[in-house]
């Protein structure tokens, strides 16, 4: 019989919509077929899959993949699914996943040539979008540093469009220590700021972007903390050719990360 | 005496939150000091300014600029302002503005070297963000083509962060006719699509991006209509170096528009 919103396992999984319960259990929710597919591609990540009968039928290959990985698959009613999902038009599947962040040292041991650091970024949609863009640009690691949003926040997971499962995600309490560790690992650390003294185009012309690089991005509202910008090897501004006062975070990150990707080809 | 939510002029202005009333009156609302400042920088755009006593005091230079331009300035109560504003934390100012779009021919007469075309993009936040990014990259015109969102939608105005007042905004009913007109004006028309046969980096290497260029962007959910992509001079994909399946619209537009800006320097 399909689980309802009152079935204890649905009640328990639903609690993962709250950060407190995610932190306490080391679990989070991934919603929709795309995220579930990406999660199932990583062994040991998924602990449970919920789906409506319709969705489990429509995405039978995902249900089969879960079964092969010994992941319990449970049918839920439409109401049970609605209780687990945070979007208004859920596509019938929600997976319970284990946290998958790794220590910074482990991510750096892979010698990534491109790293994105989200410093004190509190907006989950912005953070997830930058994570997705960093993945597309070929970044090996994305660091959530300082008082950044929880990478397992539902909105962040959805905005990442599966990229949360593709790159090494790191949670680092201290942004300054992160900068030191990145530099020690041989990465050039570049701070993105509207008031930077280096123009991105000039930096690209200089050939310096071909080096292994870590980009620091601050929140849209407050920018990078000053001491963090000061600790970087350079403070870089994206040129503003028109009359806009600034770019939004996702656009600025896309321009910077793709400038690196192009230089590093 | 300050206007309240029931004052007829506040009631009339509030109706501009609805598209029907914007279309019927040729007016729209711009909210917050940044948008009001940009609007006032253009003669004839603002027809009325509402502000709380606190905001009119804090932004006295904007109230003065409005008065110099013979724009009526009206004090509203906090409740009156809340009725006019669409955000939860309005900063005390809302201006009634005239529609400012221009015909495509007029925009092309300015010989813009960079144009962004939003084809059938229905999400106002996405459209406003691309408008902002296009302005930053130096685009001279942004065309809302086909069944695109109303550029005067409040969410689009806010996401544009003032850029709605900086570039030539065009509303074009027929996207295919728009492509023809752009090409006739000497612009290379490039369609952004994940399935494009030209790689953005290769195109940049070829020097072709230095030409006057119009970029076509489609909706995040549906991409560009196929006949529109086919009508372009080339179909261009942003390279995906990692495992992300795609970029979101704002990120893809930023990468493409800035690739042109860099090539056109």
pLDDT tens digits along A203-261 = 999 999 999 999 999 998 888 999 999 999 999 999 999 999 999 999 999 999 999 99
Structure tokens that stand for A237 in this block:
């501004």
Mean pLDDT of chain B: 95
Q: Give the single-character DSSP code of B210.
A: G
Of the two residues A221 and B31, the one the predictor is more confident about is B31
CB-based contact A244 B132, cutoff 8 Å: yes
- Whole-angstrom CA distances from A103 to A14, A109, A141, A178 are 27, 10, 11, 11
CA A224 – CA A226 distance, rounded (Å): 6
- Nearest-by-Cβ selection for B251 from A133, A239, A241: A133
The percent of residues above 90 in pLDDT, for chain B, comes to: 94
pLDDT in tens, B186-203: 999 999 998 899 999 999
Stretches where chain A sits below pLDDT 70 are none
Residues of B in contact with A251 (CB under 8 A): 129, 132-133, 136, 250-251, 253-254
Cα torsion angle, A212, A218, A224, A225, sign: negative
pLDDT in tens, B74-85: 999 999 999 999
Mean pLDDT value across residues B65-88:
95
DSSP reduced 3-state for A148: coil
CA A263 – CA B137 distance, rounded (Å): 20
Q: Give the single-character DSSP code of A209.
A: G
Of the candidates B172, B35, B42, which has an alpha carbon nearest to the alpha carbon of residue B107? Answer: B172
Residue B108: per-residue pLDDT? 97
CA distance A159 to chain B (A): 9
Residue B45: per-residue pLDDT? 96
Residues of A in contact with B129 (CB under 8 A): 248, 250-251
Mean pLDDT value across residues B7-31:
96
CB atoms < 10 A from the CB of A98, how many?
15
Residue B188: per-residue pLDDT? 98
Residue A90: per-residue pLDDT? 82
How many residues are listed for chain B in this entry?
265
Element (H, E) at A54: helix A53-58
- Nearest-by-Cβ selection for B135 from A137, A242, A265: A242
CA distance A33 to chain B (A): 14
Mean pLDDT of chain A: 95
CB-based contact B240 A163, cutoff 8 Å: no
Mean pLDDT value across residues B175-196:
96
Mean pLDDT value across residues B208-215:
97
- Closest Cα in chain B to A264: B241
Residue B144: per-residue pLDDT? 97
Of the candidates B63, B129, B142, which has an alpha carbon nearest to the alpha carbon of residue B100? Answer: B142
CA distance B167 to chain A (A): 8
pLDDT in tens, B231-249: 999 999 999 999 999 999 9
Of the two residues B43 and B247, the one the predictor is more confident about is B247
Residue A217: per-residue pLDDT? 97
Residue B220: per-residue pLDDT? 82
Element (H, E) at A69: none
CA B188 – CA B176 distance, rounded (Å): 14
pLDDT in tens, B108-141: 999 999 999 999 999 999 999 999 999 999 999 9
CA distance A132 to chain B (A): 7
Phi, psi of B187 (to 5 degrees): -90, 140
CB-based contact A255 B258, cutoff 8 Å: yes
Structure tokens that stand for A236 in this block:
């870089």
Residue B65: per-residue pLDDT? 96
Residue B54: per-residue pLDDT? 96
Residues of B in contact with A134 (CB under 8 A): 242
**Would you say B143 and B118 are in contact if contact means Cβ atoms under 8 Å apart?**
yes
Strands A93-98 and A27-31: antiparallel
- Nearest-by-Cβ selection for B251 from A242, A243, A251: A251
Chosen from B34, B91, B165, B242 to mutate, greatest number of chain A CBs within 10 A: B242
CA distance B225 to chain A (A): 23
Residues of B in contact with A215 (CB under 8 A): none
Residue B43: per-residue pLDDT? 77
- Nearest-by-Cβ selection for A254 from B167, B255, B262: B255
Chosen from A210, A244, A249 to mutate, greatest number of chain B CBs within 10 A: A244
Chosen from B255, B256, B259, B260 to mutate, greatest number of chain A CBs within 10 A: B255
Residue A125: per-residue pLDDT? 94
DSSP reduced 3-state for A263: helix
CB atoms < 10 A from the CB of A142, how many?
29
Residue B15: per-residue pLDDT? 97
Mean pLDDT value across residues B133-151:
96
Residue B148: per-residue pLDDT? 87
Residue A265: per-residue pLDDT? 85
Chosen from B115, B127, B133 to mutate, greatest number of chain A CBs within 10 A: B133
Ordered domains of chain B (ranges, CATH): 8-98 (3.30.1330.30), 104-264 (3.40.1280.10)
Of the candidates B148, B46, B53, which has an alpha carbon nearest to the alpha carbon of residue B100? Answer: B46
Of the two residues B222 and B166, the one the predictor is more confident about is B166
**Would you say B32 and B82 are in contact if contact means Cβ atoms under 8 Å apart?**
no
Residue B179 pLDDT more than 90?
yes
The percent of residues above 70 in pLDDT, for chain B, comes to: 100
CB-based contact A248 B243, cutoff 8 Å: no
- Closest Cα in chain B to A133: B247
CA A199 – CA B265 distance, rounded (Å): 13
């Amino acid at each position: 019989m399909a689980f309802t919103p009152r079935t204890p396992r649905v009640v328990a999984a639903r609690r993962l919509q709250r950060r407190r319960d995610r932190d306490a259990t080391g679990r989070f929710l991934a919603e929709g077929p795309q995220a579930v597919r990406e999660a199932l591609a990583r062994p040991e990540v998924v602990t449970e899959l919920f789906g409506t009968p319709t969705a489990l039928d429509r995405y039978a290959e995902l249900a089969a993949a879960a079964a092969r990985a010994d992941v319990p698959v449970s049918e839920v009613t439409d109401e049970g699914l609605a209780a687990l999902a945070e979007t208004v038009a859920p596509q019938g599947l929600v997976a319970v996943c284990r946290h998958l962040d790794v220590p910074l040292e482990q991510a750096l041991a892979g010698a990534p040539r491109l790293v994105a650091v989200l410093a004190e970024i509190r907006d989950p949609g912005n953070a997830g979008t930058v994570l997705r863009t960093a993945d597309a640009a070929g970044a090996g690691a994305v660091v959530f540093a300082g008082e950044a949003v929880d990478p397992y926040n539902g909105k962040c997971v959805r905005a990442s469009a599966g990229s949360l499962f593709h790159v090494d995600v790191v949670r680092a309490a201290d942004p300054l220590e992160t900068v030191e560790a990145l530099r020690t690992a041989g990465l050039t650390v570049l701070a993105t700021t509207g008031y930077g003294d280096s123009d991105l185009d000039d930096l690209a012309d200089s050939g310096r972007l071909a080096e292994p690089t870590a980009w620091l991005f601050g929140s849209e509202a407050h920018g990078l903390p000053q001491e963090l910008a000061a600790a970087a090897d350079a403070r870089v501004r994206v040129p503003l050719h028109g009359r806009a006062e600034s770019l939004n975070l996702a656009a600025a990150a896309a321009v910077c990360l793709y400038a690196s990707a192009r230089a590093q080809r």
